[in-house]
Amino acid sequence: MLFSKLLIPTLKEAPQEAEIVSHKLMLRAGMIRKVASGVYTWLPLGLKVLRKVEGEVRTAMNNAGAQEVLMPMVQPKELWNETNRWEKMGKELLRFRDRHDRDFCLGPTHEEVITDLIRNNVRSYKELPINAYQIQTKFRDEIRPRYGVMRSREFIMKDAYSFSVNEKCLDESYINMRNAYKQILQNIGLDFKIVKADSGAIGGDASEEFHVLAENGEDTIAISTNSEFAINTELLLEEGEDIKSLEGKDSPDGKGIMQIKKGIEVGHIFKLGQVYSNDMNASVQSQEGRSSTLYMGCYGIGVSRIVAAAIEQNNDEKGIVWPVSIAPFDVNIIAIGFDKNEKVANAATDLYEKLSNQGYDVILDDRKAGFGAKIKDSELIGIPMNIIIGKLYVEKNEIEMRTRDGQISLVQIDDLEVIFNHFK
């Protein structure tokens, strides 16, 4: 892609509205722009990253045997009445009426719609387990939207729902999704913890959250120094425990000492059991020929929140430092004098094609600007590798390869093998 053809309105200063670093950098890098409180447009650069996160999530879901569906954002009141959530959800549920005076809401989550689908279309235990997921827009009328897409009103979530014939099968589906979530965050390259959590408005018996560790996280979590033990302090508060007294204490599992950290909740998995299937009469015929109420699990991961969380965990004074897996581009070819010097323009275009043919995601900075402005933008946007084609190339056929963390090496432009090796 040519830099000059993309809408990447970078900013020198962060607008006043931004409080935390990820929000500031997403605005400065021209990734998002606000339309209304908690409602954003994703610009080309932001959308590229969002799609890469979606790709990681989709691959992991498909590998785990889940099947993709797409449910509507608009949902009828009747379904929400069946679980009493039309009332229970309170003001977070955005309700509206159509021209025939029928009540609808914008889906904040999809338990009712998926349970309705399964009860109407699955008859026998033989068809189970089923795990269906979607990657879709949610709307929650958050009381305090803030931090950009981190806590917005409209956002993208991947939500998956499993249906099983008994508790043991639910446990298996839950572990399967738990492993898939671990895989997603590991593949993206984030530092995270799995934390025991409160089930909240979704309900059910057991739940765990996936937290990306970052100073600006909204949640306070207690984690052990030497084991996997971690718990959301929200849960401790509910049980009347005192968080302060926990610091420096032995972990409840006897391994390590408890530490307090800040986390960003990017994923939440629940064993719902029979809560929704009871309310909505969702059953199948069991092996013994009886009607058997379904066991359900639900599994949400915040696709748009992961973009912000990744920045919150990976940035420096110059800008974003993307994990390579979700960087908008793998490499930026910075051509100095692209518009004036034919030799530079040809070499840059040629290298662009060679790298693209190798499968790299390449941007070519062909703008009429100097090296200073171009490298600043590239560092702000967080592209992992820069290839600079300028004076050195004109004089000695040399190009400069410069990583986002500032490591520089000079390479002969014809030495393709050396160039490709830098990406390994």
Binding site for ligand ATP (CB under 6 A): 109, 140, 142, 151-152, 155, 157, 200, 202, 265-268, 300, 302, 304-305
Query: Closest separation between CB of residue 35 and ligand ATP, Å?
Result: 15
Query: Closest separation between CB of residue 38 and ligand ATP, Å?
Result: 7
Q: Give the number of other Cβ atoms within 10 Å of residue 38's Cβ.
A: 20
Query: Closest separation between CB of residue 140 and ligand ATP, Å?
Result: 5
Q: Of the two residues 62 and 137, which places its CB atom closer to ligand ATP in the complex?
A: 137
Query: Closest separation between CB of residue 203 and ligand ATP, Å?
Result: 11
Closest by CA position to 219, among listed 121, 312, 322, 128: 312
For residues 187 and 61, the answer to whether their CB atoms sit within 8 Å is no
Whole-angstrom distance, CA of residue 99 vs CA of residue 115: 27
Q: Of the two residues 122 and 266, which places its CB atom closer to ligand ATP in the complex?
A: 266
For residues 296 and 163, the answer to whether their CB atoms sit within 8 Å is yes
Whole-angstrom distance, CA of residue 14 vs CA of residue 27: 7
Query: Closest separation between CB of residue 155 and ligand ATP, Å?
Result: 4
Query: Closest separation between CB of residue 202 and ligand ATP, Å?
Result: 6
Query: Closest separation between CB of residue 92 and ligand ATP, Å?
Result: 9
Q: Of the two residues 305 and 404, which places its CB atom closer to ligand ATP in the complex?
A: 305
Whole-angstrom distance, CA of residue 304 vs CA of residue 294: 31
Q: Of the two residues 93 and 347, which places its CB atom closer to ligand ATP in the complex?
A: 93
Cα-trace Rg, the chain? 25
Whole-angstrom distance, CA of residue 78 vs CA of residue 48: 38
Q: Is 270 left (phi over 0), alpha (psi -120 to 50) or beta?
A: beta
Q: Of the two residues 156 and 364, which places its CB atom closer to ligand ATP in the complex?
A: 156
Count the residues in the chain.
424
Q: Of the two residues 7 and 143, which places its CB atom closer to ligand ATP in the complex?
A: 143
Q: Which residues contact 328 (CB under 8 A, 6 or more apart)?
A: 45, 48, 49, 52, 322, 361, 363, 381, 382, 383
Query: Closest separation between CB of residue 87 and ligand ATP, Å?
Result: 18
Residue 385 dihedral angles phi and psi, to the nearest 5°: -135, 140
Q: Of the two residues 119 and 211, which places its CB atom closer to ligand ATP in the complex?
A: 211
Q: Which residue is nearest to ligand ATP (CB)?
A: 302
**H helix intervals, 281-331:** 303-313
The dihedral over CA atoms of 262, 264, 269, 270, expressed in degrees to the nearest 10, equals: 60
Q: Of the two residues 93 and 266, which places its CB atom closer to ligand ATP in the complex?
A: 266
Whole-angstrom distance, CA of residue 172 vs CA of residue 195: 19
